């Protein structure tokens, strides 16, 4: 969202998500671009460029995004947005289903991405230093107990909030898997399937949590102990494999306050 705002796009414009390593891109015409997210080196025709700021790329310019030093995913926004056809109301790529984006697949060498017409009014902008997130450490992730919390013992709920939990390599956009204290079920780990909300924390038979993310399944039959109340970025975009985090229990009102504060921070983030 911030990357789009930096280049004058609507919040929902399509960009590129780069996991661990970014692309090398040649621009057919002049555009404004911005790179946010993971700490990655960014160069334009070999010259180092800033992150969390917009800058102009001339026609024929070559932009390169290198390997992430901290964090996992970097985001590239281009003025006008990536103009691939919308599928089910979105230009996002769903790899498991082969839908959206560029023919439902990851970008490959030699691909040409269509861009939309810039909205105009783009200029050099930056995200205020105090609004740029830091990566690493052991973040606390605010959570609210969900409607299936009674499927876990009091000791199991306590274990979840005591942590810490370490992100495992078996993580992707469908779900982030964690390893830590065992979360004990009361009556097994199977329930009647129901809908799954973004950020729900599913606890499988071995008592380990999986945070369900943007490519999650629509329904499932495994109990979900809590619903994530903060942003999912700590498990998807910010946390590196092997990094640890803790789940912090909050009430609904506090979760709403966190969300309101985050939205206000976004609206005041760009200088």
pLDDT digit string (tens) for 95-110? Answer: 989 999 999 999 999 9
Three-state DSSP class for residue 195: strand
Cα dihedral 254, 257, 263, 269 in deg (nearest 10): -100
Closest alpha carbon to 37 in 106, 143, 133: 133
Q: Summarize the chain as % helix, strand, coil (round to 5).
A: 15, 35, 50
* pLDDT band (50, 70, 90) for residue 16: very high
* CA gap 199, 203 in Å, rounded: 13
How far is Cα 138 from Cα 244, in angstroms, rounded to an integer?
Answer: 5
Q: Is 227 helix (H, G, I), strand (E, B) or coil?
A: strand
Tokens encoding 178 = 């964690």
Report the pLDDT value the prediction gives residue 232, as an integer from 0 to 100.
44
On the question of pLDDT at 241 being above 90, the answer is: no
Give all strands (DSSP E) within the chain, no chain letters: 16-19, 24-26, 31-39, 42-44, 47-48, 54-57, 62-65, 70-78, 140-145, 165-167, 175-179, 194-195, 200-203, 209-212, 219-220, 224-228, 244-249
Predicted confidence (pLDDT) at residue 136 exceeds the cutoff of 90: no
> Residue 236: pLDDT band by 50, 70, 90 thresholds?
very low
* Alpha-carbon span 129 to 182, nearest angstrom: 39
CA separation for the pair 208, 112 (Å, rounded): 42
**Residue 238: pLDDT over 60:** no
Instruction: Report the range out of 27-36, 169-178, 225-234 with the highest average pLDDT.
Output: 27-36
CB within 8 A of 37, min separation 6: which ones?
Answer: 3, 18, 71, 73, 74, 75, 237
């Amino acid at each position: 969202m911030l990357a789009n705002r930096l280049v004058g796009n609507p919040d929902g414009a399509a960009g590129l998500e780069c996991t661990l390593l970014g692309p090398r891109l040649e621009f057919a015409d002049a555009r404004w671009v911005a790179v946010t997210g993971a700490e990655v080196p960014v160069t334009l025709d070999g010259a180092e460029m800033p992150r969390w700021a917009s800058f102009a790329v001339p026609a024929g310019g070559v932009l390169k995004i290198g390997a992430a030093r901290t964090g996992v995913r970097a985001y590239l926004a281009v003025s006008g947005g990536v103009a691939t056809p919308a599928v089910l109301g979105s230009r996002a790529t769903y790899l498991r289903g082969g839908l959206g984006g560029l023919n439902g697949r990851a970008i490959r060498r030699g691909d040409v991405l269509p861009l939309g017409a810039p909205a105009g009014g783009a200029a050099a902008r930056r995200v205020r230093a105090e609004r740029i997130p830091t990566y690493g450490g052991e973040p606390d992730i605010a959570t609210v107990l969900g409607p299936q919390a009674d499927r876990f013992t009091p000791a199991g709920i306590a274990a979840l909030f005591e942590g810490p939990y370490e992100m495992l390599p078996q993580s992707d956009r469908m779900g982030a898997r964690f390893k830590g204290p065992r979360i004990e079920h009361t009556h097994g780990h199977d329930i009647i399937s129901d809908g799954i909300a973004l950020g729900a924390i599913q606890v499988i038979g071995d008592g380990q949590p999986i945070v369900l993310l943007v490519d999650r399944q629509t329904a499932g039959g495994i109990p979900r102990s809590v619903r994530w109340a903060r942003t999912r970025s700590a498990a998807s975009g910010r946390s590196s494999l092997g990094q640890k985090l803790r789940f912090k229990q909050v009430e609904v009102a506090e979760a709403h306050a966190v969300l309101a504060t985050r939205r206000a921070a976004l609206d005041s983030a760009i200088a």
